[in-house]
């Protein structure tokens, strides 16, 4: 109860209690929402006149209804929008209560709030982003939210809670702002952001390359199935192990330090520069034998000529395993292999060809890579004059000196020979391989020739040995007896009828020597030349006198020339000695061989053929034979053909008869023709018989000239090679091979001609 003291008794009531007073209160906040607690604020504390301690009692009402809250604070959760909360605060000094102070507030709507986060918290490129929102509304109202996304600060057209995986790229900053709202209005926005991080790479498998490595290789570790969601380039961290021990983390591993047989493996850890994926390890491989190697091959000399041996210089022959190395050579000339030796012989190439060698090392187990050398181009090799021989070695002034040259061009090029003749050391104007004695030199002159062989590029000369022209002995004179047929009373002179001039223009003297019946006679007298005459008194009936004259030019004697007084001339000529058959030439059909010899003393001088037609083959064939008649003078005999007879026809019968004979005085010495199955054509070759007297003896020779008779027959078959008698022989027999209707073979039988004396 309050102590009321009348004023009269104020002095006496000093011990009476007075309650506290003067309290003023307010509710904080003055405009609360349902999310705000209501806190009483003593805006003016009560005072106690008696100085007692003051306490306060709180009484709350809500919408004029008592509340259970008796403290200075009403929790926010007890409030609701629209409520009117009042508080009555009574001060007390523990004896009395002072007058209460009141305050009231109306609870306003509490705006909603949100808390937003983005999942995943550490996104990678290709991850979808989701905004996770926790909504709060103190009033319990429905809360709606709006989403606003930005990427790297730039708004995107996305109003959902999700960002598609295809839109996220490493390094981007994505932010979402979520704004809540209820029926009363919007609350404060909430935001969250994430940075798109790196996605680690992956690889499926690893393998050592090469699959069969050797010490010559540098191994690499090859990954298969590399993937990186960010599209980063393929990259790895590498670890190498040999026989289970890590030896290197380099990208490539030179294998030279490791022995063959070692086990090699590699581990790849995919790495994109930021993150590492799961490592994979390759299967182990075994180091195999290392093939040997060759650094380089150089061949020389630089511009080889034919005949020059090409050699190869090798550098850097190596075998990493220490094995013995064998080298294989393959020399090519213009791309074709020409030798497999260590060198290329000089006879394997010619000018202009390209030369190269490939050298391949091998250690008996493995073959190394072939190494090609430089390429050489063969230079021109001048033609070579190997020898120059002058013939004759002792020419006289009427003899042509002929240079016989042996030359060759190692390259096979065509070449020309030029001749520079020197006489007594002076080059003369003669050209060609022959030096005419009657034009260019005199006796005792020195003679040589320099011969140069030249191809298209160069030449080489060789000078012959020097020879000397000799004195030319005088020719033998032509002799006769004067008178030619002396009587017993006449002296006989051995006369010089003719004398060829001395080739050296020397004067000629003569020496005469006589024999009588084979014995020397020294009693000759002189008519023109000393000892040239036999007196009639020294001659007897039946004596044979031989005069021999020797010419002399002051240096040399010429040939002895003899003439016989009383030597008989030949009366005929016939074949003698061994009969030699020529080759049987003709067709390929078999037939009977007929040897048809001319009568004794006669020669084959023609043929008579019966042809199947004017241009057909021989149906039958016969030789024609004749003797040779002689008409002799003192030095020569004229030979003429006697009566000609036709031998037996061999073969069948034809419709065209054709006969060809040698010119008079000539006999058959060979033939040419054509043949297929049969004898198609035949041509006789004829030579003259020459009968001469050398002053002592009569001789018969086969002339060097010949006559080809007109051909008999057609042009069928093929030409066969010329068939001739042995030199110095002529035909005395014809051999015909014939069947019943054709001739298919022909040959001649040949003998030496011999003189007969009756």
Q: Are 150 and 174 in contact (CB under 8 A)?
A: yes
263, 346: one domain: no
The verdict on 281 and 298 lying in the same domain is no
Beta strands 698-702 and 162-163: pairing type?
unpaired
Boundary of a domain, candidates 565, 593, 625: 565
Locate 300 and state its tokens. 């020389």
**The pLDDT value given to residue 695:** 63
Residues 597 and 743 occupy one common structural domain: yes
Cβ–Cβ under 8 Å, residues 383 and 415: yes
Side-chain-facing half-sphere of 447: CA atoms under 13 Å: 32
Token duo for residue 157: 């057209």
Q: Are residues 625 and 679 in the same domain?
A: yes
Q: Are strands 190-195 and 205-209 parallel, antiparallel or unpaired?
A: unpaired
Alpha-carbon distances, residue 345 vs 338, 348, 350, 407, 472 (angstroms): 9, 6, 11, 21, 52
Tell me how far apart the alpha carbons of residues 39 and 42 are, in angstroms, rounded to a whole number: 10
Res. 298: pLDDT tops 70: yes
DSSP code of 202? B
The 8-class DSSP code of residue 400 comes to P
Instruction: Return the C-alpha torsion angle 448, 454, 457, 459, nearest 10.
Output: -30
Q: Is residue 736 a part of any domain in this protein?
A: yes
Residues 598 and 742 in one domain: yes
Whether the predicted pLDDT of 9 surpasses 60: no
* pLDDT tens digit sequence for 240-266: 999 999 999 999 999 999 999 999 999
- Whether 162 and 174 have beta carbons less than 8 Å apart is answered as no
Q: How far apart are CA 536 and CA 524, in angstroms?
A: 11
Is 80 exceeded by the pLDDT of residue 502? yes
- pLDDT per position as a tens digit, 154-171: 999 999 999 998 899 988
- Domain assignment present for residue 502? The answer is yes
Among positive and negative, which fits the CA dihedral 402, 406, 409, 412? positive
Whether the per-residue pLDDT at 10 is higher than 50: the answer is: no
525 is a domain residue: yes
Closest-CA residue to 467 (of 404, 418, 406): 404
CATH number at residue 299: 2.60.40.10
- Cα separation of 510 and 711, whole Å? 53
Q: How confident is the model at residue 5 (pLDDT cuts 50, 70, 90)?
A: very low
Band of residue 1 on the pLDDT scale cut at 50, 70, 90: very low
Which H, E and C letters describe 432-486, residue by residue? CCEECHHHHCCCCCEEEEEEEEECCCCEEEEECCCEECCCCCCCCCEEEEECCCC
Q: Is 5 part of a structural domain of the chain?
A: no
Domain CATH code at residue 591: 2.100.10.30
Q: What token pair was written down for 156? A: 């995107």
**Rounded to whole angstroms, how far apart are CA atoms 139 and 195?**
36
Alpha-carbon span 420 to 431, nearest angstrom: 7
Q: What's the token pair of residue 590? A: 């078999």
Q: What is the dihedral of CA 747, 749, 752, 756, to 10 degrees?
A: -130
Query: What local confidence, expressed as pLDDT, does residue 634 receive?
Result: 66
Is residue 460 over pLDDT 90?
A: no
The predicted pLDDT at position 562 comes to 86
Q: What is the pLDDT of residues 469-497, one digit of tens each?
A: 888 889 999 988 898 778 889 999 999 99
Pick from 146-150, 244-248, 703-707: least confident:
703-707
Q: How confident is the model at residue 309 (pLDDT cuts 50, 70, 90)?
A: very high
- 464 within some domain: yes
Residue 308: strand, helix, or coil = coil
Measured in residues, the chain has a length of 758
Supply the DSSP symbol for 183. Answer: S
Give the model confidence (pLDDT) of 598-632 as tens digits.
Answer: 999 999 999 999 998 888 899 999 999 999 999 98
Of 705, 749, 757, the closest CA to residue 577 belongs to 749
Strand partners, 546: 515, 564
Q: For residue 13, what pLDDT band results from cuts at 50, 70 and 90?
A: very low
Rounded to an integer, the average pLDDT of 543-549 is 89
% the chain with pLDDT above 70 = 97
Q: How confident is the model at residue 12 (pLDDT cuts 50, 70, 90)?
A: very low
Report the candidate in 706, 697, 758 with the shortest Cα–Cα distance to residue 574.
758
Q: Count up the domains in the chain and report the number.
A: 7
Q: CA-to-CA distance for 32 and 38, rounded, in angstroms? A: 7
Instruction: Determine contact, residues 628/689, Cβ cutoff 8 Å.
Output: yes
Q: Cα Rg for the chain, rounded, in angstroms?
A: 73
pLDDT(428) > 90: yes
Give the residue from 73, 106, 139 where a domain finishes: 106
| Assigned token pair, 437 | 């004695």
Domain contains 510: yes
Residue 8 lies in a domain: no
Q: Quick one: 344 and 303 in the same domain?
A: yes
Contacts of 397 (CB under 8 A, 6+ apart): 437, 438, 441, 442, 443, 469, 472, 503, 504
* Buried b / exposed e along 668-685 (16+ C-beta atoms within 10 A): bbbbbbbbeebbbbbbbb
Give yes or no: residues 413 and 532 share one domain.
no
Co-location of 539 and 581 in the same domain? no
pLDDT value, residue 402 = 96
**484-504 core/surface letters (b: 16 or more CB in 10 A; e: else):** eebeeeebbbbbbeebeebbb
Q: Which of 540, 530, 586 is nearest to 734 (CA)?
A: 586
Phi, psi (rounded to 5 degrees) for 348: -100, 5
**Distance between CA 624 and CA 649 in Å, rounded?**
10
Same domain, yes or no: 581 and 725: yes
Please indicate, yes or no, whether residues 188 and 270 belong to a single structural domain of this protein: no
pLDDT confidence tier of residue 3, bands split at 50, 70 and 90: low
- How does residue 8 score in pLDDT terms, banded at 50, 70 and 90? very low
Write the CATH number for 220: 2.60.40
Contact 180, 207 (CB under 8 A): no
Classify residue 393 as left (phi > 0), alpha (psi -120 to 50) or beta: alpha
Residues 365 and 396 grouped into a single domain: no
Report how far residue 708's alpha carbon sits from residue 706's, in angstroms, rounded to the nearest whole number.
7
pTM over 0.85: no
**Residue 738: phi, psi to the nearest 5?**
-145, 150
Indicate the pLDDT class of residue 7, thresholds 50, 70 and 90. Answer: very low
Q: Which residue has the higher pLDDT, 413 or 264?
A: 264
Structural domain range at position 693: 572-756
Is the pLDDT at 14 greater than 70? The verdict is: no
**Residue 339 main-chain phi, psi, to 5 deg:** -165, 155
Residues paired with 714 in a beta bridge: none
pLDDT, the chain, mean: 91
In this model, does residue 15 exceed pLDDT 80? no
Same domain flag for 58 and 150: no
The whole-number average pLDDT for the span 323-329 is: 94
Nearest Cα to Cα of residue 575 among 597, 608, 559, 548: 597
Give CA 232 to chain center in angstroms.
47
With respect to residue 216, please indicate whether it lies within any of the assigned structural domains: yes
Confidence (pLDDT) at 380: 87
Q: Tell me, what's the pLDDT at 206?
A: 95
pLDDT, tens digit, for every residue of 342-367?
Answer: 999 999 998 889 999 999 999 998 89
At residue 653, the pLDDT reads 85
Q: Given 349, 377, 405, which residue is the final one in a domain?
A: 377
């Amino acid at each position: 109860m309050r102590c009321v003291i009348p004023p009269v008794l104020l002095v006496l009531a000093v011990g009476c209690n007075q309650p506290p007073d003067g309290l003023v209160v307010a509710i904080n906040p003055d405009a609360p929402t349902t999310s705000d607690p209501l806190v009483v604020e003593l805006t003016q504390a009560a005072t106690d006149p008696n100085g007692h301690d003051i306490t306060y009692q709180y009484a709350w009402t809500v919408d004029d209804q008592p509340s259970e809250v008796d403290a200075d604070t009403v929790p926010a959760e007890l409030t609701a929008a629209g409520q009117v909360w009042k508080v009555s605060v009574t001060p007390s000094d523990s004896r009395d209560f002072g007058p209460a102070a009141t305050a009231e507030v109306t609870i306003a709507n509490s705006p909603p709030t949100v808390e937003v986060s983005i999942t995943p918290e550490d996104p990678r490129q290709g991850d979808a982003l989701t905004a996770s929102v926790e909504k709060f509304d103190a009033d319990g109202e429905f809360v709606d939210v709006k989403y606003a996304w930005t990427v790297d600060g730039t708004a995107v057209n996305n109003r959902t809670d999700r960002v598609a995986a295809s839109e996220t790229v490493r390094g981007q900053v994505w932010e979402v702002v979520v704004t809540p709202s209820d029926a009363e209005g919007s609350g404060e926005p909430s935001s969250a952001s994430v940075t798109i991080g790196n996605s680690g790479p992956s690889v499926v498998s690893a393998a050592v390359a090469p699959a069969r490595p050797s010490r010559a290789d540098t191994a690499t570790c090859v990954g298969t199935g590399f993937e990186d969601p960010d599209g980063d380039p393929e990259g790895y961290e590498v670890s190498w192990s040999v026989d289970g021990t890590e030896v290197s983390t380099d990208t490539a591993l030179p294998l030279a330090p490791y022995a063959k047989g070692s086990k090699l493996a590699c581990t790849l850890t995919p790495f994109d520069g930021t993150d590492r994926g799961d490592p994979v390890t390759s299967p182990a491989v075994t180091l195999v034998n290392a093939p040997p190697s060759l650094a380089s091959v150089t061949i020389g000399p630089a511009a080889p000529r034919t005949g020059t041996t090409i050699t190869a210089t090798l550098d850097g022959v190596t075998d990493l395993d220490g094995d013995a190395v064998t080298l294989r050579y393959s020399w090519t000339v213009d791309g074709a292999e020409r030798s497999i030796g260590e060198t290329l012989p000089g006879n394997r190439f010619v000018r202009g060809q390209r030369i190269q060698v490939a050298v391949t090392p091998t250690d008996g187990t493995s073959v190394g890579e072939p190494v090609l050398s430089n390429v050489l181009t063969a230079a021109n090799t001048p033609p070579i004059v190997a020898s120059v021989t002058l013939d004759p070695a002792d020419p006289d002034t009427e003899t042509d000196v002929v240079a016989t040259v042996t030359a060759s061009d190692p390259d096979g090029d065509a070449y020309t020979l030029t001749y520079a003749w020197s006489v007594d050391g002076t080059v003369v104007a003669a050209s060609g391989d022959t030096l005419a004695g009657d034009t260019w030199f005199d006796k005792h002159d020195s003679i040589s020739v320099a011969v140069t062989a030249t191809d298209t590029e160069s030449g080489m000369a060789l000078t012959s040995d020097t020879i000397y022209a000799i004195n030319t002995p005088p020719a033998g004179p032509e002799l006769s007896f004067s008178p030619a047929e002396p009587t017993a009373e006449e002296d006989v002179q051995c006369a010089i009828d003719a004398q060829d001039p001395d080739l050296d223009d020397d004067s000629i003297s003569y020496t005469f020597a006589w024999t009588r019946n084979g014995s020397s006679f020294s009693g000759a007298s002189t008519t023109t030349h000393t000892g040239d005459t036999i007196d009639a008194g020294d001659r007897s009936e039946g004596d044979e006198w031989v005069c021999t004259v020797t010419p002399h030019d002051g240096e040399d004697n010429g040939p002895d020339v003899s003439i016989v007084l009383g030597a008989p001339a030949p009366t005929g000529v016939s074949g003698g000695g061994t009969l030699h058959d020529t080759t049987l030439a003709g067709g390929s059909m078999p037939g009977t061989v007929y040897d048809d010899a001319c009568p004794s003393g006669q020669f084959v001088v023609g043929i008579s053929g019966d042809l199947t037609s004017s241009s057909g083959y021989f149906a039958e064939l016969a030789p024609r034979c004749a003797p040779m008649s002689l008409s002799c003078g003192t030095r020569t005999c004229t030979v003429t053909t006697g009566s000609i007879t036709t031998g037996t026809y061999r073969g069948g019968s034809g419709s065209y008869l054709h006969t060809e004979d040698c010119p008079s005085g000539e006999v058959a010495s060979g033939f040419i023709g054509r043949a297929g199955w049969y004898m198609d054509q035949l041509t006789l070759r004829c030579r003259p018989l020459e009968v001469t007297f050398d002053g002592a003896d009569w001789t018969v020779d086969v002339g060097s000239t010949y006559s080809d008779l007109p051909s008999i027959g057609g042009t069928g078959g093929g030409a066969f090679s010329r068939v001739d008698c042995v030199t110095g022989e002529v035909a005395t027999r014809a051999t015909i091979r014939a069947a019943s209707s054709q001739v298919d073979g022909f040959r001649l039988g040949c003998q030496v001609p011999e003189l007969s004396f009756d």
